[in-house]
A and B are shown apart, each in its own frame.
Chain A
Amino acid sequence: DTAVSQTPKYLVTQMGNDKSIKCEQNLGHDTMYWYKQDSKKFLKIMFSYNNKELIINETVPNRFSPKSPDKAHLNLHINSLELGDSAVYFCASSQRWDDNNSPLHFGNGTRLTVT
């Protein structure tokens, strides 16, 4: 059973479109994250939710809107897609966000290509 699962695995779309990526974790964790890995392979945190509440918003454009319907799900909606949004988006979860003894568990990523 996959602990952190994301859908879709691949997403190809045109500039200006709106798209969503879904994430689910079955680990019973309280905290979920979105990270972005760009073409140069740098991984950067975007958002974090703890028990459905936004706790980290790392200066991401307003076109990106995370939504957490419950603590097992964290979706990422992107409006008006731009070429620069092309990247691999990783969802992750951890038992607690503020505990160093609580490692992150990552999904296998969603590769978004904007044409």
Chain B
Amino acid sequence: DAKTTQPNSMESNEEEPVHLPCNHSTISGTDYIHWYRQLPSQGPEYVIHGLTSNVNNRMASLAIAEDRKSSTLILHRATLRDAAVYYCILRADRGSTLGRLYFGRGTQLTVWP
């Protein structure tokens, strides 16, 4: 069900930028790209989403390739609290999978002090 590919793990130092990649080569024209993260012993937390254009919010930035076959979640200054599993998810805008989030394995981000 998960149609995205992410590295299993990444590491960063505190206060450095982090670029988390995601490949979604089979994305359809109506799929939105969503990012959630899951901190230890907590439920998933929404981070950001986009369709075609790059997006910024208080948590992160989302850079979407022109062909939409890949995207990158950017944490501008990693903190220890950002250590989590980050999920890149394609969310359909219509059809039989409407309303569903299909989570893959995600990327485990480790942040070193």
B49 within 8 A of A: yes
Query: Which residue of chain A has its CB nearest to the CB of B42?
Result: A108
Q: How far is the CA of A44 from the CA of B87 in the complex (A)?
A: 13
A contact residues, total (Cβ < 8 Å): 25
Q: How far is the CA of A106 from the CA of B34 in the complex (A)?
A: 15
Q: Cβ of B51: which chain A residues have Cβ within 8 Å of it? A: 100
B16 within 8 A of A: no
Q: How far is the CA of A65 from the CA of B13 in the complex (A)?
A: 45
B11 within 8 A of A: no
A104 within 8 A of B: yes
Interface secondary structure of B, over-half rule: loop
Q: Are A56 and B99 in contact (CB under 8 A)?
A: yes
Q: Are B49 and A103 in contact (CB under 8 A)?
A: yes
Q: Cβ of A106: which chain B residues have Cβ within 8 Å of it? A: 43-45
**Which of chain A's residues 48-96 have a Cβ closer than 8 Å to chain B?**
48, 55-56, 58, 90, 92
Contact sample, A vs B, 20 pairs, CB 8 Å cutoff: A41-B85, A41-B105, A43-B44, A43-B87, A43-B103, A44-B103, A45-B102, A56-B99, A90-B43, A92-B43, A98-B99, A100-B49, A100-B91, A101-B49, A103-B49, A104-B36, A104-B44, A106-B44, A108-B41, A109-B41
